[in-house]
Structure 1
Amino acid sequence: MSALPVDPGLYLTFLGVMGVMAITPGPANLFAVATGMARGPAAALAGVAGMNMATLVWFAAAALGLSALIAAFPEAFRLIAVAGAVYVGWLGLKALWAARTVADAPAPALAEGAGARPGRGAFVEGFMVQILNPKAVLFFTAVLPPFLDPARPAAPQLGLFAVATVGLDVLSMSAYGLGGAALALAMTRPGVRRAFGAGTGVLLLLAAALILSRL
């Protein structure tokens, strides 16, 4: 048995695969953009923190035998996917409704957090989006297992894979979220705010559609 916790070649390959997955637009990155657009940079980062907390929960589940559980109960994956799509779609509909009710008076920039929902709410929503994201289930049941070396202890390998996954996801999701927030900070006119609110809702509904497309 090697003294190294992971196979170096497999780990480098994993980093490449994970890098591509992290920057690919999907439900998590679209949620980050939508949150940044609607609530500003602080809420976007809180949402990123929530999503990556959920990722750590998935790693813990993987350590406890998630793959075997999904294999034994295949309908569990479908239920998780449907629940995730419904939740993200509900967030999108809420954003569209909020866009319809934007006041005609000019609003201050979100830089001071005016009108933004508390970061705690964004954290919880981010956690729910990722914990119900079927992309996460596929990752831990199909993508991750081939990179695990059965000749080495599983816990250290999962720990290093978790560091890489969360690190790359934080960078990508934060870039998406702060990009959305930067656009929102430029808004002063009600008509523009309504358009961005509608854009937020469309992004979230698109994320819900992406989730359902994986079924």
Structure 2
Amino acid sequence: MQSLFVTIGLLHLIALASPGPDFALILRTSLHRPTAIGAAIGIALAILLHATFSLTGISLLIAEHPWLFNLVRLTGALYLGWLGWGALKAAWQGSATLRLQAGNEHGGLAQGIRRGLATNLLNPKALLFFVGLLAAMITPQVSGLTRSLLVIELFLLSLAWFGLLAWSLSTPRAQRLLDRVQRPLNLVTGLLFGAVSLSILMELAREASAYI
């Protein structure tokens, strides 16, 4: 069991460190520390749900029913596309304007939690990652207690990683650096969200055309 915890923990950390919509959201909200911390909590809660759903078979049920899985994919693609569009619009604004809007636009801790939860929970790639990881690693012989501890491990690792990232990026020193590159960062963030959204929509379009 110890090797199982270590293996899954390391694989999860590698996935967390990989650039993606979650990292982009933390970067995007780092102008306002409460929002960034909230986003980190929301992402960790979404991962907690993904892991729980995967271990209870709910995620596998969604993945095995094309219409339900496609609905999740479409909703996620549209939401990520909306976030991308917001980041691209912000790329055309100056950092001073962004700072003036930060309190209203980002909305604080609660708004950050909602954004983090939605960004990760509606990302179909995250769903497939946890279905694949846990289905491959967790055998029927693994006890319920061990499964629960694995879910807690994934949650705590996610909260620690994104919480540290949110705190580090929202420090005055980091903000001074980010101020100088705010526009290109927003541009990169918007393009990243847009690329993920577009790739999901293109996959859905290809699959739909195969049935026509």
TM-score, with structure 1 as normaliser? 0.75
Number of residue pairs the alignment of both structures matches: 199
User: What's the counterpart of residue 180 of structure 1?
Assistant: 169
Which of 8, 18, 40 matches 1:24?
A: 18
Give me the whole-angstrom Cα distance separating, in 1, the residues matched to 2:178 and 2:11.
Answer: 40
Backbone CA RMSD of aligned residues:
3.2
| TM-superposed deviation, 1:46 | 0.6
Which residue does the alignment assign to 2:193?
Answer: 207
2:134 aligned to 138, 141, 144, which one?
144
CA deviations over 1:4-56 (Å, ceiling 9, x no partner): xxx222222212211211211121122111111xx322211110111111222
Contact kept, 8 Å, 1:134 with 1:211, in 2: the verdict is no
Shift of 1:174: 2.6
1:122 aligned to 2:112? yes
Matched with 1:164 is 153
Cα pair 1:11 1:147 within 8 Å, conserved: no
Distance 2:192 2:116 in 1: 16
Q: CA deviation at 1:198?
A: 5.4
Structure 1 residues 122 and 106, CA, compared in 2 at 3 Å: closer, same or farther? closer
- Counterpart contact for 2:54–2:135, Cα < 8 Å: no
- In 2, the alpha carbon distance for the partners of 1:105 and 1:142 equals 43
Q: In proportion to residue count, which structure has more helix?
A: 2
Distance 1:79 1:180, change over 3 A: farther
Structure 2 unpaired stretches of 5+:
204-212
The reply on whether 1:86 has 2:78 as its aligned counterpart is: yes
- Structure 1: unaligned runs, 5 residues or longer: 1-6
Q: Cα distance, 1:205 vs. partner?
A: 3.3
Sort the Cα spacing of 1:166 and 1:211 in 2 relative to 1 into closer, same or farther, 3 A: farther
TM-score normalized with structure 2 length? 0.76
State yes or no: 1:14 paired with 2:4: no
Aligned to 1:144, the other structure's residue is in SS state helix
One-letter code aligned to 1:61: F
Q: Deviations over 1:78-97 (max 9, x none)?
A: 43233223212212222332
